[in-house]
A = this chain, B = another copy of it.
Amino acid sequence: MVKDMTHEEISLYIINTLTENKKAEFESALDELQPYDVAAIYKELPEKQKSRFLLYLKYDLLADLMEELEKSEQLELLNMLGIEKSSKVLDLMDNDDLATLLHELSPEKIDSLLSEMDTKESNAVKDIMSYPPETAGRIMTNRFVWIRNYYTVREAVDKLKSFAEFAETLNYLYVIDEDSKLVGVVSYRDLLLAGEGDRIDNIMFERVISVTVTTDQEDVAKTVERYDFISVPVVDENHVLLGIITVDDVIDVVIKEANEDIEKLSASGKAIDFDTKTLVAAARRLPWLILLLFIGLISGRIISSFEDTLKQVVALTFFMPMIAGMTGNTGTQSLAVVVRGLISHDIDKKVIFRLIMRELGVGISIGATCAILISIIAYIWQGSLTLGFVVGSSLFFTLIIGTLAGTIIPIILYRIKIDPAVASGPLITTLNDIFSLLTYFGIATMFLHYLM
């Protein structure tokens, strides 16, 4: 029915089934929609249609809908459903999504939601919530089908059939032994291609790549990306299979981590998006700005200590923003390369040494080019050969310093297990401001005699 309709037409059609109480038509239309579309339609509904929409929706679709909503919308929906219906929906939600929902609620609210749920489900969620944030344990789901190594293909398919609705859509079955240890993997395709009587341990692939519950989610993403997997199994330290992570969650991790890197590199504040409220956004950005304000005053202090030099050669001021800016720019360039590189590379001493040498070379090349250029410009503009030399040689040194600072500082942070993107954006710009002013005024003061 809704097959060839546009989004708007479907929306209108759904509203129509709601206002005219056509539950059968409503259900058959919903059957053809993806969860994302169901959520999009739900969000656009007039308030008074929302409750009927929820009333008509089956539990599994309610769980799908929940998984597509933002946290505030999820809580609103749970309130509209009431406690009894809510608990049934929560039972059906993927446990990783549920753990994310519960994560930031108050302990009382969590207890009240969990207490009404099926014990097995609520225990599974509690398990997931017991792992540190941003680890494999937090994003894994326990909704997958495992099989035993002695099963035949027919037995495996039978098990898959009986758990068909329960398992996340994916295309491997993981194989465990009598101690629940992960010993193999079989793809649905292998099952289709094998004979019904074949034993699983004869057709399974034994060298299963897995991650442990405490693996950082960025490393999980790295694994899935490298091996082009659809899902990856999660085991504990004894290799007991605990859950799986699916590629859709990995995409979310990749996007989230990239956004976090950009946030940090630009010091733009945690998790601000188009929907963040004004005062919240301002409050999240202010800490960095106030810190930067004070650090900016250090630059001011340095300038003020060279007050005499400045008074005698005001022209020095003209090149100050350019030198500080350029040093900051090269630092940021190096930083961006390092921060993104650390994500996709395995890092050892050799790689680091080679990188630092490369950046030193880059600093020298860039420094020499820009220095020659600015010397000529300064000489032509201000008519002083000495000023040209002072500005040029300062820029040469500050660009090398800037490049190295942008390379070495994030590597040190990475080595001492601090996320290199955390402090380095503003830190590097600021340190480079200070380095560059000290170098510039230092050289200028040395040549003050000739500048006047």
Contacts and interface: CB of A to CB of B under 8 A. Distances in A.
A339 B230 CA distance: 29
A354 B286 CA distance: 21
A261 interface: yes
A307 B246 CA distance: 63
B207 A289 contact: no
A34 to B, nearest CB: 5
Nearest to A434: B321
A445 B258 CA distance: 44
B258 A289 contact: no
A207 B337 contact: no
Copies in the complex: 2
Contact of A248 (B36, B228, B263): B228
A54 interface: no
A284 to B, nearest CB: 10
Interface in A18-48: 32-36
A301 B221 CA distance: 49
A452 interface: no
A33 B362 CA distance: 39
A329 B289 contact: yes
A265 B264 CA distance: 12
Contacts of A226: 36
A353 B107 CA distance: 38
Nearest to A206: B3
B322 A321 contact: no
Contacts of A272: 337
Given A191-B192, A251-B254, A296-B325, A207 B3 contact: yes
Given A160-B192, A325-B292, A268 B300 contact: no
Contacts of A187: 169
A152 to B, nearest CB: 14
- Main secondary structure on chain A at its contact with chain B? helix
Given A258-B255, A374-B293, A189 B189 contact: no
A300 B319 contact: yes
A259 B340 contact: yes
Contacts of A358: 274, 276-278, 281
A224 B36 CA distance: 11
Given A171-B170, A251-B251, A365-B282, A268 B337 contact: yes
A416 interface: no
Given A169-B187, A286-B365, 4 more contacts: A160-B192, A261-B262, A274-B337, A282-B366
Interface of A: 2-3, 32-36, 157, 160-161, 164, 169-171, 187-189, 191-193, 205-207, 209, 221, 224-230, 246-248, 250-252, 254-255, 258-259, 261-263, 265-269, 272-274, 276-279, 281-282, 285-286, 288-290, 292-293, 296-297, 299-301, 303-304, 307, 310-311, 314-315, 317-326, 329-330, 332-337, 339-341, 344-345, 351, 354-355, 358, 361-362, 365-366, 369-370, 373-374, 377, 426, 429-430, 433, 437
The 8 closest A-B pairs by CB, nearest first: A296-B322, A258-B258, A278-B361, A171-B171, A228-B248, A266-B336, A300-B318, A282-B365
12 contacts: A161-B192, A169-B230, A230-B230, A254-B254, A258-B259, A262-B262, A282-B366, A289-B333, A292-B326, A296-B325, A303-B320, A325-B430
